[in-house]
Structure 1
Amino acid sequence: MSTMAAFCRTAAFLLRPAKALPYTLTAARSCSSGGQYQYILVEKKGANQNVGFIQLNRPKALNALCDGLMTEMGQALDAFESDSQVGAIVITGSEKAFAAGADIKEMQNRTFQECYGGNFLAHWNRVSTVKKPVIAAVNGFALGGGCELAMMCDIIYAGEKAQFGQPEILLGTIPGAGGTQRLTRAVGKSLAMEMVLTGDRISAQEAKASGLVSKVYPTAQLVEEAIKCGEKIAGNSKLVSSMAKEAVNAAYELSLAEGNRLEKRLFHSTFATADRKEGMTAFVEKRKAIFEDK
């Protein structure tokens, strides 16, 4: 992602007057990575265990995004993508920081040749390519890479004390993982320009008013509400949910005419699924649909 607030040596500068903060996310203390992951905690949530749950777990660095963390994130997403039980995924951090930026110490001495030749940060985009719906539950700081990570998700829920920002300009660089592109599409040119050019942050309430997040909840309730949303999504046809996600995402890439054509093709395609037949039959028979994801 971008070279943003890393909360390594630059923590005091970018999050003034922030200090090292304790890890306090009660809702996810029971997470277990089973020894498989070093930087994240992974498990299934929900009454039917159908919501994949990924928690960033670098509390001393305020969940700064190092390359190892993002590699593990990709591995966890791959596992949930191939798990037929999982219908939605929630990504969160701690109550103090969703992710306070990318790890500057990993970037500080890189050269242009290394970055350009190796396509630096390319694999960090995995979150945006997952077919299953992904919900970001953002408490605390979502700055630089943290803000970009949240924007890669399909839905953003924010805690009432969350803060969003792209402070890369303060480090002499610019966002590198979609910050200038996704932020502009979400909040419009003027606010995106202001945030990118000044490094200023916006509150959860401002983020909701600008369209960056869909809902704001009290800090302690945020993760639970995100999981509820995931359960609701997972209760629908997973196959059709992926098609719906594809159609919505296409609106950012295609003209209106082309987007409508894609939507129509996907709509027609649902008529080849057993779930479409079950959904409409259940509606006519006034009963709850039982989807089999086929």
Structure 2
Amino acid sequence: MYELLTLERGDDGVAVLTLSNGKINALSGALLAEIAAAAAELAAEPPGALIVTGGERIFAAGADISEFGGPEEARAITANFHAALDAIAALPRFTIAAVAGYALGGGCELALACDYRIVGARAVFGQPEILLGIIPGGGGTQRLARVVGPSRAKEMCVTGRQVAADEALRIGLADEVVDGDPHERARALAAEVAKGALTAQAITKRVIDAGLAAPSLADGLALERDAFAEVFATDDARIGVASFLEHGPGKATFTGH
């Protein structure tokens, strides 16, 4: 079904989406369409958790510059980016970007669309669009600022400076840095998450994201109150509470419902 990526589901409940568009994994319109289609497939039948990854040297190098033109082409490109990356961000499961190498431009934006970023020691992030006289168009001006703060995001976007793994960890752009293969650590974490209370995880992710977009803390807390009541209607809540009372914490076997 896919020509520029692979989508695999494991027996451990983990799905892995791997970009495979040549050596640099340029995020062309065709690849973005496949990412959107894969996200739709995953939304229809959610896995326990999702890993998004690319090549060992280049996670994804950004947009396909050969597709650039004038304002109308630019409008189509940014729409394609937003459709694909928003679909990944909206998945009701924990998503992990496993980044071994360069994640620049759209590659950085794809990693930012995931919930968590595990990176190798050689990973490099950046939004270098300014060096072409343009700005990030795949969510970089918005998601980067929410992750590293507006001042740091502005500095990175207006200079085009690349950030190595150690600095990425320090500023919150990376969540873990590993000496070995980031895919191994991502798989271990994803498999652990996939065994958890999946409905509660989905509600948690939804409320955090919606709360960040809410006008005020009070609005976010109102969302939390409603979601806290909602989750008590799930099988997993009943299982988890009963297991805690009988066996203590961490012993429940959840159904994901």
TM-score by length of 2: 0.92
Please state how far the C-alpha of 1:41 moved relative to its aligned partner: 1.6
Structure 2 residue 5 is matched with structure 1 residue 40: yes
Report if the CA contact (8 A) 2:60-2:102 is conserved.
yes
Question: Within 2, Cα distance between the matches of 1:142 and 1:72?
Answer: 19
Q: What are the equivalent positions in structure 2 for 1:174-213 lying under 5 Å apart? A: 174-213=135-174
The amino acid across from 2:25 in the alignment is N
Instruction: Find 2:95's aligned residue among 102, 117, 134.
Output: 134
Q: What are the equivalent positions in structure 2 for 1:8-157 lying under 5 Å apart? A: 36-45=1-10, 48-60=11-23, 62-83=24-45, 86-107=47-68, 109=69, 111-116=70-75, 120-121=79-80, 122-124=82-84, 125-157=86-118
Percent identical pairs in the alignment equals 39
Question: Within 2, Cα distance between the matches of 1:180 and 1:278?
Answer: 42
Report if the CA contact (8 A) 1:138-1:162 is conserved.
yes
Please state how far the C-alpha of 1:178 moved relative to its aligned partner: 1.2
Report if the CA contact (8 A) 1:59-1:94 is conserved.
no
Cα RMSD after superposing both structures: 1.7
The amino acid across from 2:87 in the alignment is R
Structure 1 gaps of 5+ residues are: 1-35
Counterpart of 1:28 in structure 2 is none
Q: Which has the higher helix share?
A: 2
Question: Within 2, Cα distance between the matches of 1:117 and 1:93?
Answer: 24
Please state how far the C-alpha of 1:154 moved relative to its aligned partner: 0.6
Between the two proteins, the alignment pairs up a number of residues equal to 252
Question: Within 2, Cα distance between the matches of 1:42 and 1:227?
Answer: 14
Report if the CA contact (8 A) 2:12-2:194 is conserved.
no
Please state how far the C-alpha of 1:293 moved relative to its aligned partner: 2.1
Q: 1:126 to 1:290 in 2, by over 3 A?
A: same
The amino acid across from 2:58 in the alignment is A
Question: Within 2, Cα distance between the matches of 1:234 and 1:167?
Answer: 35
Counterpart of 2:183 in structure 1 is 223
* Secondary structure of 2:62 counterpart: coil
Question: Within 1, Cα distance between the matches of 2:142 and 2:177?
Answer: 23
Report if the CA contact (8 A) 1:114-1:120 is conserved.
no
Q: 1:117 to 1:91 in 2, by over 3 A?
A: closer
